[in-house]
Amino acid sequence: MITIERLTKRYDDDVVVDDVSLEIAEGAIVAVVGASGSGKTTLLRMINRMVEPTSGRVLIAGEDTRATAPHLLRRSIGYAIQGHGLFPHRTIAENVATTPKLLGWDKARIEARVDELLSLFGLEPAIYGPRRPHQLSGGQQQRVGVARALAAFPRVLLMDEPFGALDPIVRAKAQADLRAIQRKLGVTVVLVTHDMDEATSLADRIAIMERGRLVQEATPVEVLTHPATQFAADMFGADERPFRLLSLKSVADLTQPGEAGGEPIAADADRREALAALLWSGRAAAPVTGAGGERLGIVTLARLVEAAAAKAR
Amino acid sequence: MTPGAIERSALRLDRVGATLAALGVGGLALGPFVSARPNRIVDGVPHGLFEALPPSLAAFVALVAAAAALVALSQAPPVLRAFAGAAALACLTLALGQAPRHLTAPGDIYARVAPGWGYWLAGFASTLLIADALTRLRFRPLARLAALVIAGLAAAAAIGSGALDDLSIMKEYAIRATSFWAEARTHLALALGSVAAALAIGAPLGVAVHRVTAARGPTLAVLTVVQTIPSIALFGLLIAPLAWLARTIPGAAEIGIAGVGAAPAFVALTLYALLPVVGSVVSGLGAAPPPAIDAARGAGMTDWQVLAQIEAPLGAPTFLSGLRVVTVQNIGLTTIAALVGGGGFGTFVFQGVGQTAIDLVLLGAVPTVALSFVAAVVLDAASESAGAHA
Amino acid sequence: MKAAAWTLRLLTLALLAVYLIRPETFAAALAPLAPAGAPAVYTQSSVLELAAIHVAIAAVATVLATAAALALAVFATRPAGSAFLPLFRSVANAGQTFPPVAVLAIAVPSVGFGEAPTLIALTLYGVLPVFENALSGIEGVSPAVLDAARGAGLSPRQELLEVELPLALPAILSGVRLSAVIALSTATIGSTVAARTLGEVVIAGLATNNLAYIVQGAAAIAALTVLISDALGALERWAARRAGRG
């Protein structure tokens, strides 16, 4: 869907992005991670030509992005950034309507689209549409920022630390919403983040940038268990790695027949939660229940510990 | 072409420099270098560079101007650009001083030769070239003051050497040399004295309304209304009460209180300066970040200690830039004092307007602008170094 | 508080209107200030006409100055003009050191006496406050907003017209107000070069030692300035609310 070919950005003698090639599948969420200054934001901004590459090219659905004038290209690509960047002089509805209006949609179509998106993000259109950005909470502003980016049915959504300014609880909710909405709309998402939890929990694939170079591009599990460089390994933190690995999957496929007492664990709970529950209650096993509360079997401490080991796979 | 390719292309013009070069060279080529008049009242006759000067000197000026324009056009380093601008300005001005000797018969004391707009434009472009170069050099406050002293010394040397004595403005000066310096003293005393008086009243007032928030709005509102009274009128309005004071209070007249003259001017200028002084004290004291004040209180400082050790130092840059505005404003406004007999450089301006003698107007206006400029540079430097320490 | 301010405003407007239409109404009140035997009310020309010229000169100068200042500020904040920004700043800074009287006096020889030099001086003087405010307004637009605007696909022109200028509008209007106040007060000085403004009344008072003239001239100009500044202030607050800051 997005093909990045040997993309390089140089400022004078400073190579910010160095010969990066990357293939992003249709409908995937790719997280670009790296330390600050690793070139991840520049790489993202070259996709919609907010930054012009020094060399290399970007293809979206096979079409070279240089074939279209930058501002026209950007109308077909969603763009959401940290601090949302909502226009303070326009209402929420007008903000969401920005790109459809630029594309010359008729009024009724714009209105319908704005209402649809606001509802999708849990903001009652009649109440929030006429308000101005400063009348909304930080979490609501951020949701409007993403809604605006999605307004004109973009093929691609670029996000630069979109949840960076939110507190942890609001952020978790926003991430869950994004995942659900992305599944529903099927839009391809490129997400720049320095939050490794965000990357592992949201993304289908993680691209790791190090001093301008792309050092690894793989699934979260692969990146965790087989980091390509020392830097990639360090990014996840040695003391955190096993737990992150556990958090990527649910307990469902670790469930085995048997009997155990105490508080049951839901089958769709992630393995990290299950481990925490067993450790906290001092049990060696716990019953697992399905969505309807029916008993599926048990999960044992031993299976969980085994699953936390990188070598196991 | 990508931006990188443009950067690499060999010939790059400096856009600012190109504009200034066009302005300066255009002015010199198309505009009159001087305007000569048989006497100080009648209309002038324009003379181009090559008419106004002996051929060799004119050629030399043209050469220097062209060289400076080339430096401006190129990507030369700022130091070289500043030097080119200064050389052009000095050369233009010294050549200007030679024009009267070339254009008028020896011994003709009525003839007046004044700079034409060609000179003004070229001089303006040279000055801007210097200013632009100095901005690019990002001088620290002390270096800027040193540059100001050097410029002042250069101007004093040019005037003191007698090289410009034949120019019309210097002829006006020669006639009024004694009164010029007397008016200069009056102007300075009125402008700076009124700022000092406004500080003496306004600083405590500012601190007071900073602490007593309820009094802030009304105080600033009253001072704002005072500022809207036009300056001429405020000078006039004070004539009567001051005359009354002089008549009724014994000893008042002896200490200089009078209806006309410097007294109403001084009071009016002080009143005008009050609003900016109080305003900058209030906004300066309000500039300290609330967490810093909170921390200071938490550390056990009293209100006065917070004021003296936290709010005052943090507000110093704001206050000083306010002081700069007030000082520049009052140096300019002091010219109006001449209308109520208060003296100062305004005396020459209004005499000049009355006689339609532009040279006399300039004799009053140029020193006023120079004074304002010096005050602005000095107080800017002070404000900036206060900001660096805060 | 709000009611009191409105009462004060309307009272000022009413008194000004009465003075401009029938100045002789105030003859009795001003009489004690006039020298014995001298008239208390200025009648050499119609004060209404003087006020109209006064406001017209100030208005034209402010409009011209605003147009010039906006053009300069927009140019200096575009990529093509950014090299000029420091220069414009230092010229604006140095420009403020020119006293208005000097600008006025220097304009006389080139355009003659009357309203023309006043208009020139006022225009030149009015550029600086609008330029500085427009600059800080445009530069004050949050980088995130600009980034989002570009990302949403606005062209540079749309970015300027639909985002930067509307958001800078409160700052620009505050510059316009400053410029208008300076113009109204400098127009008074214009009377020293024979411009027919309300300053004529004050100058006549100074020339004939008639305090009554000075007082009525000063009060009329002050009232005019306060009312106009007040109205522009209201416009500024409206714009600030529209820009999402209130």
The CATH number linked to A301 is: 3.90.1280.20
Sheet holding B34-37, edge to edge: B45-47, B34-37, B112-115
Hey, are the CB atoms on B3 and A10 less than 8 Å from each other? no
Quick check: B1 contacting A, CB < 8 Å? no
Residue B229 belongs to domain with CATH number: 1.10.3720.10
B198 Cβ contact list (under 8 Å, min separation 6):
B270, B273, B274, B277, B326
Q: Which residues of A touch C244 (CB under 8 A)?
A: 87-90, 132-134
What whole-number distance in Å separates Cα of residue B388 and Cα of residue B141?
Answer: 10
| Domains of chain B: total | 2
- Last-in-domain residue among B149, B168, B187: B168
Q: Which residue of A has its CA nearest to C146?
A: A85
Q: Which residues of B touch C80 (CB under 8 A)?
A: 15
The whole-number pLDDT of residue B259 equals 65
Q: Which residue of B has its CA nearest to A9?
A: B4
The dihedral formed by the CA atoms of C203, C207, C213 and C217, expressed in degrees to the nearest 10? 10
Chain B nearest-CA distance from A17, in A, is: 15
Look at chain A and count its residues.
313
What whole-number distance in Å separates Cα of residue B371 and Cα of residue B195?
Answer: 14
User: Given a contact as 3+ CB pairs under 8 Å, which chains touch C?
Assistant: A, B
Hey, are the CB atoms on C108 and B353 less than 8 Å from each other? yes
Chain A nearest-CA distance from B8, in A, is: 10
Q: Which residues of C touch A98 (CB under 8 A)?
A: 152, 154
CATH topology of domain C2-242: MetI-like fold (1.10.3720)
Q: Which residues of A touch B6 (CB under 8 A)?
A: none
Chain B nearest-CA distance from C1, in A, is: 12
pLDDT at B235 over 50: yes
C-alpha angle B345-B351-B352 in degrees, rounded to nearest 5: 90
Tell which A residues from 38 to 97 touch B, by Cβ distance under 8 Å: 52, 54
- A160-164, B225-229, B352-356, C113-117: range with lowest mean pLDDT: B225-229
C242 Cβ contact list (under 8 Å, min separation 6):
A89, C166, C169
Percent of residues, chain A, with pLDDT higher than 90? 55
Residue pair C143/C202 in contact by the 8 Å Cβ criterion:
no
| Residue written as token pair 């093909």 | A3
- Last-in-domain residue among B145, B168, B191: B168
Helix or strand holding residue A134 (H, E): none
Q: Do B214 and B163 share a structural domain?
A: no
Tell which B residues from 4 to 63 touch A, by Cβ distance under 8 Å: 4
Cβ contacts from A onto C, under 8 A: 77
Q: Which of C162, C169, C241 to mutate to test the interface with A (most CBs of A within 10 A)?
A: C162
Residue that wins the pLDDT comparison between A119 and B109: A119
Q: Which residue of C has its CA nearest to B222?
A: C226
What integer is the mean pLDDT of A76-92?
Answer: 89
Q: Which residues of C touch A145 (CB under 8 A)?
A: 148
Hey, are the CB atoms on A79 and C148 less than 8 Å from each other? yes
Residue A233 belongs to domain with CATH number: 3.40.50.300
Q: Which residues of C touch B132 (CB under 8 A)?
A: 86-87, 90
The whole-number pLDDT of residue B255 equals 67
Hey, are the CB atoms on C192 and B339 less than 8 Å from each other? yes
Q: Which residues pair with A287 in a beta bridge?
A: A298
The whole-number pLDDT of residue B64 equals 93
Q: Do B259 and B151 share a structural domain?
A: no
What are the angstrom distances between the C-alpha of B162 and each of A56, A66, B364, B368?
A: 67, 67, 20, 22
What are the angstrom distances between the C-alpha of C37 and each of C31, C202, C209?
A: 10, 19, 12
- Last-in-domain residue among B115, B136, B168: B168
Q: Which residues pair with A55 in a beta bridge?
A: A8
What whole-number distance in Å separates Cα of residue A182 and Cα of residue B231?
Answer: 67
Residue pair C70/C134 in contact by the 8 Å Cβ criterion:
yes
Using pLDDT thresholds of 50, 70 and 90, give the confidence band for residue A244: confident
Quick check: B184 contacting C, CB < 8 Å? no
- Last-in-domain residue among A188, A210, A238: A238
CA atoms within 13 A on the CB side of C191: 28
Looking at mean pLDDT, say which of A115-119, A235-239, B135-139, B285-289 comes out highest.
Answer: A115-119
What integer is the mean pLDDT of B4-23?
Answer: 69
Q: Do B212 and B81 share a structural domain?
A: no
Q: Do B214 and B117 share a structural domain?
A: no
Question: Residue B54: which of B106, B102, B116, B113 has the closest Cα?
Answer: B102
Name the 3-class secondary structure at A3. strand
B173 Cβ contact list (under 8 Å, min separation 6):
B180, B363
pLDDT at A123 over 80: yes
Query: Shortest CB distance from C152 goes to which of A89, A132, A148?
Result: A148
A242 Cβ contact list (under 8 Å, min separation 6):
A308, A309, A310
pLDDT tens-place string over residues C186-232: 888 888 888 899 999 988 888 888 888 888 888 899 889 889 988 99
Chain B nearest-CA distance from C82, in A, is: 10
Q: Do B159 and B183 share a structural domain?
A: no
Quick check: B346 contacting C, CB < 8 Å? yes
Look at chain B and count its residues.
390
| Domains of chain A: total | 2
Hey, are the CB atoms on C144 and A85 less than 8 Å from each other? yes
The whole-number pLDDT of residue C54 equals 94
Tell which C residues from 103 to 142 touch A, by Cβ distance under 8 Å: 142
Q: Do A307 and A188 share a structural domain?
A: no
Q: Which residues of B touch A50 (CB under 8 A)?
A: none
Query: Shortest CB distance from C97 goes to which of B132, B231, B328?
Result: B328
pLDDT at A62 over 80: yes
- B165-169, B246-250, C144-148: range with lowest mean pLDDT: B246-250
Q: Which residue of C has its CA nearest to B13?
A: C83
What whole-number distance in Å separates Cα of residue B338 and Cα of residue A214?
Answer: 75
Query: What is the 3 state secondary structure string of C82-128?
Result: HHHHHHHHHHHHHHCCCCHHHHHHHHHHHHCCCHHHHHHHHHHHHHH
Residue pair A134/A166 in contact by the 8 Å Cβ criterion:
no
What are the angstrom distances between the C-alpha of C48 and each of C8, C17, C60?
A: 22, 9, 18
Which DSSP state fits B161? T
Domain of residue B293, residue span: 177-389
Hey, are the CB atoms on C154 and A88 less than 8 Å from each other? no
Q: Do B326 and B209 share a structural domain?
A: yes
Q: Do B367 and B308 share a structural domain?
A: yes
Q: Do B144 and B15 share a structural domain?
A: yes
Chain B nearest-CA distance from C116, in A, is: 15
Q: Do A251 and A103 share a structural domain?
A: no
Query: Shortest CB distance from B369 goes to which of C102, C192, C229?
Result: C102
| Angle between the N-to-C axes of helices B78-103 and B141-160, in degrees from 0 to 180, rounded to the nearest 10 | 20
User: What's chain C's average pLDDT?
Assistant: 88
Hey, are the CB atoms on A79 and C145 less than 8 Å from each other? no
- Listed by start position, the domains of chain C span 2-242
Q: Do B362 and B249 share a structural domain?
A: yes
Quick check: A253 contacting B, CB < 8 Å? no
What integer is the mean pLDDT of B280-302?
Answer: 86
Q: Which residue of C has its CA nearest to B362?
A: C106
Question: Residue A19: which of A11, A9, A7 has the closest Cα?
Answer: A7
Quick check: C192 contacting B, CB < 8 Å? yes
pLDDT tens-place string over residues C59-100: 999 999 999 999 999 999 998 888 888 888 888 877 777 777
Quick check: C242 contacting A, CB < 8 Å? yes
- Last-in-domain residue among A238, A257, A283: A238
Q: Do B151 and B57 share a structural domain?
A: yes
What whole-number distance in Å separates Cα of residue B115 and Cα of residue B170?
Answer: 12
Cβ contacts from B onto C, under 8 A: 141
Q: Do A171 and A46 share a structural domain?
A: yes
Residue pair B120/B169 in contact by the 8 Å Cβ criterion:
no
The whole-number pLDDT of residue B4 equals 42
Give exposure, C81-117, as e/b (b: 16+ Cβ within 10 Å): bebbbbbbbbbbbbebbbbbbbbbbbbbbeeebebbb
ipTM of the complex: 0.80
Using pLDDT thresholds of 50, 70 and 90, give the confidence band for residue A311: low
Hey, are the CB atoms on A89 and C243 less than 8 Å from each other? yes
Using pLDDT thresholds of 50, 70 and 90, give the confidence band for residue A313: very low
Using pLDDT thresholds of 50, 70 and 90, give the confidence band for residue B264: confident
The whole-number pLDDT of residue B3 equals 43
Hey, are the CB atoms on A102 and C245 less than 8 Å from each other? no
The whole-number pLDDT of residue B8 equals 42
pLDDT at A187 over 50: yes
Hey, are the CB atoms on B365 and C185 less than 8 Å from each other? no
Looking at mean pLDDT, say which of A23-37, B103-117, B236-250 comes out highest.
Answer: A23-37
Q: Which residues of B touch C203 (CB under 8 A)?
A: 232, 339
User: Given a contact as 3+ CB pairs under 8 Å, which chains touch A?
Assistant: B, C
Domain of residue A117, residue span: 2-238
Quick check: C167 contacting A, CB < 8 Å? yes
Using pLDDT thresholds of 50, 70 and 90, give the confidence band for residue A2: very high
Amino acid in the structure at residue B232: I
Using pLDDT thresholds of 50, 70 and 90, give the confidence band for residue C246: very low
What integer is the mean pLDDT of C162-177?
Answer: 93
Looking at mean pLDDT, say which of A92-96, B268-272, B336-340, B371-375 comes out highest.
Answer: A92-96
B289 Cβ contact list (under 8 Å, min separation 6):
B314
End-to-end CA distance of chain C: 20
Percent of residues, chain B, with pLDDT higher than 90? 29
What whole-number distance in Å separates Cα of residue B60 and Cα of residue B66?
Answer: 10
DSSP string of A212-223? TEEEEEE-HHHH
- Last-in-domain residue among A207, A238, A269: A238
